[in-house]
Amino acid sequence: MSRNVALGQPTVGEAELAAVSAVFESGWLSGAGPACLAFEREFAPVAGVEHVLATSNCGSALHLALLALGAGPGDEVIVGDYTFPATGHSVMWTGAKPVFADVRPDIWSADPAAVEAAITERTVGIVAVDVFGQPADYDELRAIADRHGLWLVEDAACSSGATYKGRQAGSLADVAAFSFHGRKGITAGEGGALTSAREDLVAHARKLHTYGIAPAITREGAATLPVPSFDELGYNYRMSDLQAAIMRVQVERLPELLKARTRAAEAYAELLGDVEELTLPVALEDRTHPWQSYVITLDGALDRGAVGVALRERGVGCNFGTYASHVQPLYGETTACPTSADLFARHLAIPMHANLTEDDVAYVAGVVRDVVTSPESRA
């Protein structure tokens, strides 16, 4: 019998459909409406902050964060190199230049020493990335930022439910940005959020995310006919109320989804821990890893392409990990980040989502073991 274990899969059902139906009945389907405001209130405890702004995606949340912090032409912003290029793109959208810093070989987030070495007189801030959800070294990065008078942003795209030394992802920097893309731990298919303890930053971002004016809901029920004026360039970065309705249910599901992903990760570690041809991901004791992805590092003697094809032929979804940003042509000449480049060449993501059964995990682990130990997988 053929088998197919998806690389990623959302956990959605009747509760999400009922929430969407309620929005249909309300008549407010567009962005920044009542469901968005409710989602913002309900996500705030997850992120450990008082102020949340629902956005169209994580890239828009990052862009808004950088604009609110004042990044612009002539500035440099240091970015952890091993990340989907939306992180570097968001810096470029402001007119600033991303400067990539190499990463730790174990948890793949920005190496604080590399960050400090990259600081110049043009540096205004740092964007740390919680790679696949595990938080970066925020105590060290905050100390560097404070020492040099810089701001700090958390790219928490994969980090819903993660913690760092008892503090929630979303509260670890001046401002944070989350993703609710279909492969994330909680999802509405797309969507994002900006979070901060600073009311001023979120208020400015809220103005910018609706073309530069206050959202329409702020004028509901007015005794007069308010006509807003535009004094600052803004964008349409709003989450729709349909997405927000789904996200409200997903926030309720988050604890159970995290438990399911953690069980799968622990089972992979037990089943694959003795395979010499690969290195398993590390979950540090002072952090809660939300396991947005489960990414293995292949031995350099293996042909990753051949491994991936063989896994897919046997019904195991897989893909490369993420990007070494500094080698992407868009960014031009950059400083070498050898650790990130090595990870980019050797990482392979295998199925990770909350719907995996014990049998699914056992099957995946068995196929991975067979494939990586096969002579046909060697370069």
Residues belonging to the active site: 184
Distances (CA, A) of 282 to 41, 251, 265: 33, 26, 10
Query: Which structure tokens are listed for 17?
Result: 């459909």
- Supply the DSSP symbol for 238: B
Strand segments, DSSP code E, in the chain are 51-55, 76-80, 97-101, 123-129, 151-156, 163-164, 167-168, 175-179, 192-196, 278-279, 287-288, 294-298, 347-350
**Bridge partners for 290 per DSSP:** none
Q: Cβ(131)–Cβ(80) under 8 Å?
A: yes
* Whole-angstrom distance, CA of residue 335 vs CA of residue 233: 33
How far apart CA 344 and CA 325 sit, in angstroms, is: 9
d(Cα 333, Cα 77) in Å, to the nearest integer?
16
Place of tokens 């249910």: 249
Cβ neighbours, 10 Å, residue 183: 18
C-beta of residue 209 within 8 angstroms of C-beta of residue 216: no
Instruction: Compute the distance between CA of residue 155 and CA of residue 61 in angstroms, rounded to an integer.
Output: 9
Q: What is the DSSP letter of 152?
A: E
